[in-house]
A and B are shown apart, each in its own frame.
Chain A
């Protein structure tokens, strides 16, 4: 039988605490406590502090975990793939963690400065890949010559509006699972040049 090393056990506990924190914060909001996270994770309150000495450490780890997943995917896609593939991947990743994304979106100004900086870094990484891809498309004459920041902000505006109002757009739950194709095709129709 395989033996679990101390390091593996520590890493597993850390993951459990993060998973629990994601559920607790998305359900109860920014005022949720580390004690509630400990209960949800099935660990002692002290164990949460061993892994995450402050609430900011815990929130930051959540933001970084999500940001790393998103960044890895977009890094791969911004090079040779189509705009459609890029937007599809963006919404797929957000769709996997809609609740967490919405939590950060709504609470950005209330986050500890450290966490807010990581959240901004994540959005900036998305903007970087987005701009690189859009500039390539503008240069190739396939996308209208609009400032890349405006193309990015328009896309994010649509994404955030549908997410903020998902009870109206997809009352059953996941708004991107239901509206992804429509959002992407309509946005492309707005920005692409007639050929």
Chain B
């Protein structure tokens, strides 16, 4: 089982992968409609929105939390070096 390089989600079935393509390293939530992986800023914005919607965090606290989580993921290594 692979872990999405962009958000850390475990990918178990084809449906979890971007475009259902199990050769990809990222999940459906980290893909753009054309199947390419979202950029750092797109993912940061998406993750922030997700934290606000699912846990009700303060907007700025959610941005900080999103960045802290992204810092640990292989897809964004270059953004923190």
Contact = CB atoms under 8 A, between A and B. Distances in A.
Contact of A149 (B56, B68, B69): B56
Summarize B's interface: helix, strand, loop or mixed: helix
A127 B65 CA distance: 14
Interface in A132-174: 147-150, 152-153
Contacts, number: 49
B53 A131 contact: yes
Interface residues on B, range: 10 to 19
Interface residues on A, range: 20 to 34
Contact of A75 (B10, B55, B56, B71): B10
Q: Which of B51, B55, B69 has the most CB of A within 10 A?
A: B55
Given A72-B10, A75-B12, A121-B8, A131 B54 contact: yes
B54 A148 contact: yes
Contact of B68 (A113, A131, A147, A153): A113
A125 B9 contact: yes
A150 B69 contact: no
Interface in B24-58: 50-56
Summarize A's interface: helix, strand, loop or mixed: helix
A124 B69 contact: yes
Given A71-B10, A72-B10, A118 B54 contact: no
A153 B10 contact: no
B30 to A, nearest CB: 13
Contact of B69 (A71, A72, A117): A117
B55 A153 contact: yes
Interface of B: 8-10, 12, 50-56, 65, 68-69, 71-72
